[in-house]
Copies of this chain bind each other. A is one copy, B any other.
Amino acid sequence: MCIDSKKAKEILKNLKLRPTIQRIAITETLIKQKEIHVTAYLLKRMLAENKVFISRATIYNNLNELSNKGFLKKVLVKKGKMWFDTNLSKHHHFYDEEEETLADVAEKEIKFSKFPKIPNGKRIKSVDIVINIKKI
């Protein structure tokens, strides 16, 4: 257990989630870096590298629970694989398919001078901007 273990427990307490060994380890991993983008598989691998072995179902259960509680955001950039993001601010992404990496674009880095009219009877839920990049 590293320093972050305490912070992790604190976070779980605030989210009213029982501080199980698995949840603490997952949360610790997520807060170790200031911001992180992971898939379920990536997170499982990161934990395994630290000799923490958590079942697939638990990884998914907790990523989903942490998302539902507002501690993570879901980001979709490619068919069939969900990314989870600890950057909770409204923001956008660079996605590098070749390197399978996601990077943040702060909301203030994008400004519109023209934006489409929303269809009648509808309202905006969210605006997702993905800038797909590749090596020159």
- A residues near B (Cβ < 8 Å) are 76-82, 94, 96-97, 103, 105-106, 108-116, 118-119, 121-136
**CA gap between A111 and B114 in the complex, in Å:** 5
**CA gap between A67 and B135 in the complex, in Å:** 23
Q: Is A133 a contact of B112 with CB atoms below 8 Å?
A: no
Q: Is A109 a contact of B116 with CB atoms below 8 Å?
A: yes
Q: Is A129 a contact of B127 with CB atoms below 8 Å?
A: yes
- Between A and B, 29 residue pairs with Cβ closer than 8 Å are A76-B76, A76-B77, A79-B80, A79-B82, A80-B80, A94-B116, A103-B119, A105-B116, A109-B114, A110-B114, A111-B112, A111-B114, A112-B112, A112-B113, A116-B131, A118-B133, A121-B135, A122-B134, A122-B135, A123-B133, A123-B134, A124-B131, A124-B132, A124-B133, A125-B132, A127-B130, A127-B131, A128-B129, A128-B132
